[in-house]
Structure formats: structure tokens, C-alpha cells
Amino acid sequence: MRTLLFLLIFFGWLIYYAFTAVYTGLSDVDEPARQLLLAAFTGIGLCALISPLVYRRLFDNGWPSALVKYTVHTLIAVFLGQLLMAAVMFIGDLWIGVKAVFTGLHTAWAAPVSAESAVISRSPFVGQFALLSGGLLFLSLLYGVSRRYRYQVRTVRIPVDGLPEAFHGLRIVQLSDIHSGSFDNPNAVRRGVDKAMSLAPDLILFSGDLVNNRADEFKPYLTIFAHLRAPMGVYSVLGNHDYGDYVRWPSSAAKQENLHRLMHYQRQAGWRLLLNESATLHKDGDTLTLLGVENWSGRAAFSRYGSLEQALSGTPSDRPAILLSHDPSHWTAEVVGRHPQIVLTLSGHTHGMQFGIESRWFKWSPVQYFYKRIRPTKYIFSE
């Protein structure tokens, strides 16, 4: 009941302020054109309001077609644009309220003013600024979706104390958060795999979330990802989405069977899935430990299936180790200050919160407020 009440209040607030932004921002437009634009905005806006619910259902159960997928994504972008517009107008109204209070106090203590001069109304500029802000967010989101197959390689050189000499210059390619149920272009996926292989990696590591929810999402792309090969092997771990925790199953047995099928697909692709266990990497007589744990999060909202202690069991404490763990909060909660032999942790999960700005001089993403990088220990998470 409380959730329903909150949603009703929230959507009422959103509809009112988003409509107000359009009405105020278009005050200089001819009335017929203004009414037409308001009608169009209202129709699209109402569709956008239900888009988060539709998205969640289709994300869980699979997209029926590419057209439906792109339509829902566009409406999600409209919804977020509306949200920003409403926020701008709401802040503007708060400012008007503050000014009204001070105007009232001034009126009470100073000379009387006419009622007309005491009225503080919304400025068309605020409405226009809200429209501009929402429009820019909408366009930037569409731009991001349209370029989702634009693969980028980020090279990170990591000095590691105590690394065996044979492993100096070890080239690792890390992949993460493939979410294969969101793919719709096998050729574009193949280009990504080819790009990874062009880097000539010694070792390939996948840090979880192979699917959105269901193992069969990966099946159409299994033969493509089977082309990933490296002299020291291809290793993987499970992410929070791989367990099928976010969809309803007819039985616990069906859910478990889905997980086993996903594990089988990874073996078919030639990957070695590490389930709270270790592997020993060999090169020119030297050895290096690779640890892989199931999903373990330091945040209550996410699952804890992993066991670092189990993965460490039987491994030499004086041998440097690389940890593969999907959720970067695991590093903060269980690794730092406790296991000095873990010289590098590779994680995924964050997606950079799907948004960021990166240039030669400036890097920013909302994710940095949730996952801090602590120096000097090495920690990398994939965005």
C-alpha cells in the first residue's frame, strides 16, 4: 500500500512538473502550435511513464523483437528526460517559494506594495532551461544506445611487487558484463571478440554477468565466444545476474537447472569457470595463483554466494595471486588488509552506471561515488 501511494505521488509530481516545463517553456510559441506540441508531449510522456515497468518485464523474459526493444529504450530515454525537466521546474518553484517568503516579510515590515507587484511567477527561462536539459539528456542517452557496439580497449599497466620474473609483461584481456540477452547483432559481437583476440593476450579473464537472467540468452553467441583463446587459458566467474535471481521460476529445480546449463555453455566455449576455487598458472618454471569466487557483494542488495576462504584453501600464502570477483565491493570488504598475497583484483558489475564523461583531461562517472579506489593496492573494475 505504501509503495502504491508513493508511486501515485511520484507520478503525479512528475506529470505536473514535466507538463509545466513544456507549457512554460513554450510560452512564446503561437497558441495552435503550442497546443499541438503539448498534446504530442502528453501522449508520448504517458507512454514513457509505463516504460520502466515494461522494460523490467521484457528484460527479465527476453525481447520479442528488435523494434520493441528500441521503442522501449527510446521511451526510457524520454522518461529520464521528463524526470530531469520536472526536477528543474521543482527547484525553480522552491526558489519562487523562498522569494515569496522574503517578499512577505519585507511587505510586513516595510511600505505596503500592490498585490500585483507582490506576485512572483514562473519565468519562461526556467521552462526553456528545463526543456533544454531534458532534451540534451534524451539525445545523449539515444547516442549512447546507438553506439553500444563501439568497443574500446583501455590499456592499464600494473606494477606488481613480488611478481615472478617469468610473468613480467603478462598480457591479460579482461571482459565483463556481456549480458548476452541484450545483443541483437551477432556480427557486431563477433567484431568485439576479434578485437580482443587481436591484442594477443596471454590470459583472458571474464568477470561475470554473462546473461541478463537466463542461460539460453548466451546460446546463439556460444560459437562466437568460443573463438576466445589464450596460451594460459580463458577463465571466468559468475556475476549476480547469472544465477537467475531476478526472474520467477516454476520451481527451485528449474532455477538450478538454468544455472547448470549456463555453466555447461561456458565449458562448451572452452572457458574454465572458477567456483570458489583456484588455478595455478605456469610459465618458464614460475607459478602464479589465479583465484575465482562466485558473486559476493559488500552491499545488502546483492547476493553472497562466494567464499574467498574456500578459494584460498590450499594455495601458498607467499605466492602472488590474482583475484577474479564480479562485485568490486568484495575487494573492500574482504581483501584489503587481510590477504596481502592478492596483488590484483579484477571486477565488473558497475557498468560505469551506464554513464560517464571521459577525455584526456577529465574523467567522471556517478559510479565513483559508490566504489572508491584505494591506493596503493591494485584494483580494477570494468566499465
**Residue 260 pLDDT > 80:** yes
Chain position carrying cell 509505463: 50
**Residue 295 pLDDT > 70:** yes
Beta bridge partners of 346: 324, 380
pLDDT for 63 equals: 62
Q: Which of 78-87, 118-127, 219-228, 252-261 has the lowest mean pLDDT?
A: 118-127
**Residue 286 pLDDT > 80:** yes
Q: Domain limits of the chain?
A: 2-146, 165-381
- pLDDT band for position 141 (cuts 50, 70, 90): confident
Over residues 287-314, the mean pLDDT reads 93
- pLDDT band for position 375 (cuts 50, 70, 90): very low
Q: What pLDDT digit, counting tens, does each position of 17-66 carry?
A: 888 888 888 877 777 777 787 777 777 777 777 777 666 666 666 666 66
Q: What pLDDT digit, counting tens, does each position of 319-334 carry?
A: 999 999 999 989 989 9
Cα Rg of the chain (Å, integer): 26
Question: How many CB atoms within 10 Å of residue 223?
Answer: 12
Strands (E), the chain: 172-175, 203-206, 234-236, 272-273, 277-283, 286-292, 321-324, 342-347, 357-358, 363-364, 378-381
Q: What are the CA-CA distances from residue 112 to residues 14, 36, 100, 105, 106 (Å)?
A: 37, 43, 15, 11, 9
Which range of 44-58, 117-131, 147-161, 358-372 scores highest in mean pLDDT? It is 147-161
Residue 319 is classified by DSSP as S
Angle at Cα 154 formed by Cα 150 and Cα 207, nearest 5°? 85
pLDDT for 151 equals: 85
Phi, psi (degrees; rounded to nearest 5) at 65? -160, 160
Q: What pLDDT digit, counting tens, does each position of 171-229 carry?
A: 999 999 999 988 888 999 999 999 999 999 999 999 999 999 999 999 999 999 999 99
Looking at the chain, the whole-number percentage of residues with pLDDT higher than 70 is: 82
Tell me the CATH number of domain 165-381, given options 2.30.30, 3.30.200, 3.40.50, 3.60.21: 3.60.21
**Residue 251 pLDDT > 50:** yes
Chain position carrying cell 520536472: 86
Sheet with 272-273, side-by-side order of all strands: 172-175, 203-206, 234-236, 272-273
**Residue 119 pLDDT > 80:** no
The rounded mean pLDDT for the chain is 83
Q: What pLDDT digit, counting tens, does each position of 316-369 carry?
A: 988 999 999 999 989 989 998 899 999 999 998 876 544 555 556 556 555 555
